[in-house]
């Protein structure tokens, strides 16, 4: 099994998702979204575009078109895509959905999901951290939501999750420092968020691993 991660920034690595795939014996490759040339998705069994503090609706991004083409070619070639945060939002757009800024500002925290299909996405809580929201398009089915927006959608063999199953304590520590303004806007104390992340670390790892297994089973990818 060959898996391609598309990474946008150092603080959004494959982490727990990559960990589980490696445990299952996958050959994991990571490419920077801003690379001069992105690989042919048809050479892989699964494509995983990761998170970013950029907006998937920002057409001025220098790399947006090349990553769009990669995801589009994956879909056309029958290669399943598992989008995470920005990656889910871009997948949503490629499949005919939309992405826009959240009207109430950032959505951040360990939040439970209203889940219509617990065999795909468990109710959580999952770590949510985003400024934009997505609305799945025709042929896509929202399978998890918060009161603010859709948090996960399925489209055939593809799955997009706006939350962060890959996140670790180290990830959240960096995000809490870099994006302190967002936390202040919501009245979230960084220390409290880190403590909650540490308390949930074991269950979050197990939940992330289970989600990866379900993504592979849904996509029909042999391990």
State the Cα–Cα distance between residues 170 and 173, nearest whole angstrom: 5
Collapsing DSSP to helix, strand or coil, 60 comes out as coil
Q: What domains appear along the chain, each with residue ranges and CATH number?
A: 2-219 (3.40.50.880)
Token reading at 92: 């949503």
- Residue 79 main-chain phi, psi, to 5 deg: -90, 120
Please state, in angstroms and rounded to a whole number, the distance separating the CA atoms of residues 208 and 203: 8
One DSSP character per residue, 26-45 reads: -EEEEEETTSSSPPPGGG-S
What pLDDT, on the 0 to 100 scale, is given for residue 68?
98
Location of structure tokens 């998170």 = 51
CA distances to 67, 72, 92, 174, 219 from 34, rounded to whole Å, are: 9, 17, 20, 22, 27
Task: Tell me what pLDDT residue 222 has.
Answer: 77
Catalytic residues: 85, 164, 166
Rounded Cα distance between 18 and 38, Å, is 19
pLDDT at 96: 97
Joined together, the tokens standing for residue 125 give 């809580």
Tokens of 181: 């303004």
Mean pLDDT of each 10-residue bin along the chain, 223 residues long: 97 97 97 97 98 96 97 98 98 97 91 93 95 94 94 97 97 93 91 96 97 95 79
| Token reading at 11 | 């603080």
- DSSP labels for 91-116? HHHHTT-EEEE-TT--EEEEE--EES
């Amino acid at each position: 099994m060959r898996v391609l991660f598309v990474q946008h920034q150092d603080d959004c690595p494959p982490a727990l998702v990559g960990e589980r795939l490696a445990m299952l014996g996958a050959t994991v490759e990571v490419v920077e979204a801003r690379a001069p040339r992105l690989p042919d998705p048809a050479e892989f069994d699964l494509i995983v575009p990761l998170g970013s503090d950029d907006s998937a609706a920002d057409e001025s991004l220098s790399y947006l078109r090349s990553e769009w083409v990669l995801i589009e070619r994956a879909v056309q070639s029958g290669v399943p895509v598992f989008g995470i945060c920005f990656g889910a939002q871009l997948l949503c757009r490629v499949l005919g959905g939309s992405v826009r800024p959240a009207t109430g500002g950032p959505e951040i925290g360990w939040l439970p999901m209203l889940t219509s299909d617990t065999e795909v996405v468990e109710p959580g809580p999952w770590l949510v951290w985003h400024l934009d929201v997505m609305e799945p398009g025709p042929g896509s089915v929202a399978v998890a939501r918060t009161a603010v927006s859709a948090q996960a959608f399925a489209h055939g063999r593809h799955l997009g999750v706006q939350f962060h199953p890959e996140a670790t304590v180290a990830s959240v520590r960096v995000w809490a420092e870099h994006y302190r303004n967002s936390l202040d806007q919501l009245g979230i104390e960084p220390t409290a968020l880190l403590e909650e992340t540490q308390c949930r670390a074991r269950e979050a790892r197990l939940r992330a691993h289970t989600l990866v297994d379900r993504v592979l089973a849904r996509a029909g990818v042999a391990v």
